[in-house]
Chain A
Amino acid sequence: MKKKPNVKQAANKSAGILVKRVDANKDNGLGIVQKNYFKFALPPGELILESGEKLGPIIVAYETYGRLNEQRSNAIVILHALSGDAHAAGFHKGDKEPGWWDDMIGPGKAFDTNRYFVICSNVLGGCKGSTGPSTVNPKTGKKYGLDFPIISISDMVKVQKQLIDHLKIDQLLSVAGGSMGGMQALEWLTAYPDRLKSAIVIATALKHSPQQIAFHEVGRQTIMADPHWKDGHYYGGRIPAKGLAVARMIGHITYMSEISMAEKFGRRPGDEKPHKFSAGSEVEDYLQNRGDHFVKRFDANSYLYITRAIDSFDVSRGKDLYEVFKRIKSKVLVLAFKSDWLYPATQSREIVRACKLVGVDTTYCEIDSTYGHDAFLLEVDEETHLVKHFLQRVSVENGVRGKYGVMEYAI
C-alpha cells in the first residue's frame, strides 16, 4: 500500500507553506539555519537583463545546507516556485515552521546534506531578501515599484549563476525545482550546459499554455483592480491586500485537484457565514485563509513581475527546440503527477520528447497522485526514492566522494 501524507497536514503544506509543529531543537533535520546575502552588479557594472535594461546593484538572499567538499563537486542548487524563497529547509531562529522543502532537504533525506552542499536563493524580482520591486532604488531612495525593470526566468538564472561563481563552484552536481523552479532548471540546462552534471525538472513546462497564462492574468488583473494598488506605488500606505488575496485564491484552486478538494472539504458545521452568498463549504474558508495568509508574506508587485516572467518563459526562445536541446550535456530526471492539471503530464512528456530526440540521458516518471500540482511538495516518499537514487548515480559517475562508495546494482 502506498503511504499517503496525512490530509490535514497536506492542507497546511499546500503550495509551500509547511505548517508542521516540530520543535526545532528536537528535529532531526538541519536545525537552525541562516540567511546570507550576496551583493553584485554594482554600478557601473550593472547586470544587463534579457530586456536590454540594466539593473544594479543586485542583492541575492541565499541559504546553504551541508558542506562543500574539497573538490567543490557536490553542490546542488534548489530552485523555488512562484511564492517560495531562499529558506528551503531547517528553521530560522524562533520559527515554528521549517523551510518550504524541508521534507526533501536534510541529513539522510532526498537531498542528503551529509553528502551534498545544497544552495537555495530567492529569485530576482522576489520579496524575500533578493532585489525586487519592493527594494529601495539607490538612484531615487524610494522603493522601485513599477520602475523595476521587467525580468525573465533567464534573468533569475543569470543571477543564480553569479552566486555560483561567487561561491567558486565551477560545476554543479545538480539543479532541482518544481513548477517555476522546473523552468529555471530547464534554463540552467540550456543556457549553461557546461556548468551542471544533472537536473531534476518537476511538474513544469517548456512554456506556458494559454490556459496557464489565463489563470495568471486573472490574478494580475485582480491586483491591478484593487484601488490600493495605485499603479504599484502603495509602499508606505495601504497594500492591495484584497487583490493579492484573490489572486492567491485563484492560484490555490489551480494547485489542487477535484479529488483532493473533495477529500479535504466538507460542509461547514453551524450556520455562521462569512457573507450572504456563502454556500457553506469549507473550501471557501480555506481559500480565504490562504489568501489572507499570503498577503502577510508576499508583495503584490513581486507577484506581477514573477507571474509575468513565468508566462513569457519559452526555453526555445522562439528557435528550434531541437537545436536548443542539443546543447544539453547533463543527465535529466523529469517528474510529473497524474492529477496535476495546471502542469499536466503531457507538458512533461514534451520535455522528455525533446530530450529523446537529441539523445539526452533522461529518466521520466509520472507519479500516481491525487494532490494536483501541490503533489510536488506532498508526494515526499516517491520523490525521495527517485531523487535520491538519481543523485547517487550522478555523484558516483562523477566521482563525488561519499559514504556510499561504488554503486551496487541490485541484481
Chain B
Amino acid sequence: MPSETVPLEYRAILHWIRHGSSVLDLGCGDGALLALLVREKNVKAQGIEIDERSIHQCVARGLSVFHEDIDRGLSDYSDRSFDYVVLNQSFQQVKQPDIVLQEALGVGKKVIVGFPNFAHYLARLQIFFKGITPVTPSLPYEWHDTPNLHFLSILDFIAYCRQREIKIEDSAFIGQNRIIKIFPNLFALVAIFLISPLKSGGRSNGPSIWKNIPR
C-alpha cells in the first residue's frame, strides 16, 4: 500500500512503534494494521480476533492470529510479554473496557488505544438540535445496529487515565482527512493514545507526562 493511502490513524500508530518490536493487536480485524506494521517496522505480530472470516483474511496475509474473545483471552499471557498492545477501535466494543485495558497494561509495556470521539461537534449538534442518537463519520451506525457498547469522549478517556494512574505518553487526534491540533474534543473524529502504567514506567525516557493533552 503506498504511504499516502495509509489511513492517518495507522500513520500515528506506525510512528510510535519501534522497529523490530513485538505487537499484540486486540481485535485486529482483517489484519491490515498488523500487516502494515510487519512490512514497515518488521514487528513480531500477533492478533486476536473474534470473527472467523477476519481470521481467514489475517492468515491469508501471513499473520499469526487467535480466534478468541478479547474480553477473556488476555489472562493467559505472562506480564510484559509484548512491547505494544493495540486496542484500535475495539476498545469501545468490548464488554468490560476497564478490565481489558488493565490486562493490556499488564501484558504490554505500552498500550495504544484508538476510539471514536463521542463529543465531536457533529454528534453534539445532532443531540442538541435534532434530539437523536448521533451518526458521524467515526460513529457510522444507527442505534440498533452498532457494534459499539461504550461511548466516550477524549476528555472522558483523559479523566479515566488520571483516575487509574495511567500515564499518557502521546496522543493523536484525527478529523476528516487531517490531524486536529486545536480543540480535539470538539473537532476530532478519532483519538489515539499511547499509554503506559504510571507505576512501572515512572522514569520516562520518552515524552513527558501529560504532554499533548488538550485542555
Contact = CB atoms under 8 A, between A and B. Distances in A.
B78 A362 contact: no
Nearest to A338: B52
- Prevailing SS type, chain B contact patch: mixed
Contacts of B68: 349, 364
B66 A364 contact: yes
A411 B66 contact: no
Nearest to A397: B62
Contact of B60 (A349, A357, A362, A389): A389
B62 A393 contact: yes
A409 interface: yes
Interface string B129-143: 000000000000000
B155 interface: no
B176 interface: no
B59 A363 contact: yes
A367 B64 contact: no
B55 interface: yes
Nearest to B48: A364
Interface in B71-102: 76-78, 81
A402 interface: no
A130 to B, nearest CB: 34
A411 B61 contact: yes
A367 B52 contact: yes
Most-contacted residue by chain B among A353, A356, A361, A367 (CB, 10 A): A356
Interface string A334-357: 000000000000000100110011
Nearest to A409: B35
Given A356-B77, A409-B39, A385 B52 contact: no
A410 B61 contact: yes
A353 B39 CA distance: 27
B61 A366 contact: no
A411 B52 contact: no
Given A411-B35, A411-B61, A386 B52 contact: no
A365 B62 contact: no
Contacts of A363: 58-59, 63-66
A363 B45 CA distance: 11
Interface string B170-185: 0000000000000000
Contacts of B57: 410
Interface residues of B, number: 27
B65 to A, nearest CB: 5
A365 B52 CA distance: 7
Contacts, number: 65
B64 A362 contact: yes
Nearest to B10: A411
Given A357-B76, A361-B64, A410 B35 contact: yes
Contacts of A390: 59
Given A353-B76, A365-B55, A410 B66 contact: no
A388 B192 CA distance: 36
A392 interface: yes
Nearest to A368: B52
A331 interface: yes
Given A353-B76, A359-B81, A390-B59, A365 B38 contact: no
B64 A385 contact: no
Contacts of A356: 66, 76-77
A175 B29 CA distance: 28
A254 B64 CA distance: 31
B61 A362 contact: no
B109 interface: no
A396 B62 CA distance: 10
Contacts of A225: none
The 8 closest A-B pairs by CB, nearest first: A393-B62, A409-B35, A353-B76, A365-B67, A364-B66, A411-B1, A356-B76, A389-B59
27 contacts: A356-B66, A356-B77, A357-B76, A357-B78, A359-B81, A361-B44, A361-B46, A361-B64, A364-B65, A364-B66, A364-B67, A365-B65, A365-B67, A368-B52, A382-B56, A385-B56, A385-B60, A386-B56, A389-B59, A393-B62, A396-B62, A409-B35, A409-B39, A410-B60, A410-B61, A411-B35, A411-B61
Interface of B: 1, 32, 35-36, 38-39, 44, 46, 52, 55-68, 76-78, 81
Given A363-B64, A390-B59, 10 more contacts: A356-B77, A357-B76, A357-B77, A364-B65, A367-B52, A389-B59, A389-B62, A407-B62, A409-B61, A410-B61
Interface of A: 331, 349, 352-353, 356-357, 359, 361-368, 382, 385-386, 389-390, 392-393, 396, 407, 409-411
